Amino acid sequence: MRDVLRGTLGRSLRTLSEEDRLVAAWAVACGPALAARAEVLGLDEDHVLHVRVLQAGWRDQFAQMRTMLTEELRKIAAVRLQTIHFEGQSSARERGREAVAAAAKGSGAGRRGRGGRSSAEIDERSGDGNS
């Protein structure tokens, strides 16, 4: 069943950007229980996917699965992905500082997609709310 989902999802994602394909493929690649413990932040210019781990205790678990998750995401999303960088949950103050710094630098610098998006938000942007 999982292989069927991978193939079907991969074909349906072709019209999305690379970053959006990775966000949509995340839950299939790692399963819903693990996916609920992390949030995809974005894909940087070096093709590194940045993922925020929502609970500190799970960061090591994700790190141990890095190679397998990278391979699964490559297959499902058909994206050239170098690796996955897992980040810890930052405090509200740190996120505020990051937002101010990003705004000051402008939209051309640093990583893209730092806001973290859910698969439902990707579905809305692609016009497919049925997924």
Task: Give the pLDDT confidence of 71-119 residue by residue, as tens digits.
Answer: 999 999 999 999 999 998 764 445 555 566 566 666 544 444 445 554 4
3.40.190.10, 3.40.50.2300, 3.30.300.180, 3.40.50.300: CATH of 2-125: 3.30.300.180
Global pTM? 0.64
CA proximity to 56, closest of 10, 89, 81, 30: 89
* Per-residue confidence band for 11, with pLDDT thresholds at 50, 70 and 90: low
**Is the Cβ–Cβ distance between 129 and 123 less than 8 Å?**
yes
pLDDT over 80 at 31, yes or no:
yes
Report domain extents, the chain. Answer: 2-125
Element (H, E) at 49: strand 48-53
